[in-house]
Amino acid sequence: MASMDQSSYLAAAERHCAGRGSKLTALRRQVLELVLKRSGVVKAYQVLADLQQERGAAAPPTVYRALDFLVEHGLLHKVDALNGFIVCDHFDCQHESLILVCEQCGRVNEVDAASGLATLREMAQAAGFALSPQNLVLAGRCQSCAI
């Protein structure tokens, strides 16, 4: 979340949800805040543990429903390959992402992958295969760790 601070992000997230006819409830907002406090890929069990620490009792389905809402509204991306979630910096435009994960420091960077996936989509289509919308994960080293 390099493009804005946490309070600006949360305010923009509330406006975004309202614009889609949904509400960023207190629980959804709290789950989003917990994800924002962590860097890189965040696991659902980490969010659950943090929520239990703040609220006391919290059931896993509560966290999963909140995370699903945040993904559905483009505030987070679910990264199946990493079994976790990342914050989307530009949730106002729905897109497929290239998720770059540093194997050394764990830093995650999200890049719009629409143009790159177009070529892959054409290749798949030529082979009689229709790609589902998706985010691609590539592992390597970030600029800081590559030095």
* Amino acid found at 136: L
Q: What is the distance, to the nearest Å, from the Cα of residue 116 to the centroid of all Cα atoms in its chain? A: 19
CA pseudo-torsion sign 109, 113, 115, 120: positive
Q: What is the distance, to the nearest Å, from the Cα of residue 91 to the centroid of all Cα atoms in its chain? A: 9
Of 85, 38, 79, give the one whose Cα is nearest residue 63: 85
> Does 88 carry a binding-site annotation?
no
Residue partners of 146: CB distance under 8 A and separation at least 6: none
The annotated binding site for Zn(2+) is made up of 102, 105, 142, 145
The annotated binding site is made up of 102, 105, 142, 145
